[in-house]
Amino acid sequence: MPIQVVDLFCGVGGLSRGLQQAGLNVVAGFDIDETCRYTYEHNNHIPFHQHNIRDLTGDEILKCYAPNATKVLVGCAPCQPFSQMSIKRGEKTIREDEKYNLLLEFGRIIQYIRPAVISMENVPKIRKTDVFKEFLSIIKEEGYFTDEGNVVYCPDYGIPQNRHRFVLLASRFGEIHLIPPTHNRQAVTIRPFIGNLPPVEAGGVCQDDLMHRSARLSDKNLRRIRASVPGGTWKDWPEELRCECHKKDTGKTYTSVYGRMQWDAIGPTMTTQFHCYGTGRYGHPVQDRALTLREGALLQTFPNDYDFINPAANFSMKDIARHIGNAVPVKLGEAIGVSIINHLEIHLK
């Protein structure tokens, strides 16, 4: 029987591409955001279905699989309700987020189509929520074996970000586990990923790669980044360049904002605002600018030629940065894919 995968909350395809690289056949991606369609389909040659998962039926997903397929269903529900900042506000408050219970929609679809294997990826804090506990109860009641997931440190799988993610695998056939780390975390740095790109000025673009473009900097921010050192903080600046918020006690602990990265260290988590100098340690190690869109994509371990720019749509740095920051790192998707293949090779003999 062929093994086929459907990817819910697929975005621009970080998880789907990783699964493909592992050797799995991804037959469809579903997402509410139509702006992801071009990038998803153009790079991965997988049909993209624009749907709100709340309105999505199990039959619509079943149509994507061959009748005799071994079904795999994967998904990364939006993680914003489960961020560290959101969790601090308490369960009652985060329940008010409209995205909070999307994980249960994933559970509803699992109950209907009964895939052989499930993968769910999100931020680690989701484990502390009632919605995750309910999701876990659903899949256990459906007869799935699961170790209840692992918190993954991204450099262990070759991803140059100081980032932790939660990965849950479940199977109808028996115990299933994520493969052990594939890399020495101490050896994973940003240099091999972005060190060979041509230089670009703040607000500039490389004519050979329109994704290799950076946001403009104000005169003051240009002076700030020139005063910054790799791995340093805004405390290295002259007093007149410091932000008012950093002079207050509440702001003194936020030392990563306006920071420069270091060549031979791992990078920060790629958020949806990695292209903005003031939102984290997103200053280039030696050039006086924030990361380009291409650099952010490479640090998310997308291939060098992954195309995010739809020639038929207006260009938006903000939208593309959001697409990249919201994606599952490709190499993490690949590790999930290898784990699924290893498991099915044992149980489908």
Distance CA 280, CA 257 (A): 4
Distance CA 54, CA 56 (A): 6
Distance CA 279, CA 252 (A): 15
Sign of CA dihedral 274, 279, 285, 290: positive
**With b meaning 16 or more CB within 10 Å and e meaning fewer, what string describes 68-86?**
ebbbbbbbbbbbebbeeeb
Beta carbons within 10 angstroms of residue 187's beta carbon = 11
Rg of the chain over all Cα atoms, to the nearest angstrom:
21
Chain CA centroid to CA 291, Å: 17
* Residue of 76, 79, 154, 276 marked active site: 79
206 is a catalytic site residue: no
Give the residue numbers annotated as catalytic, written as ranges: 79
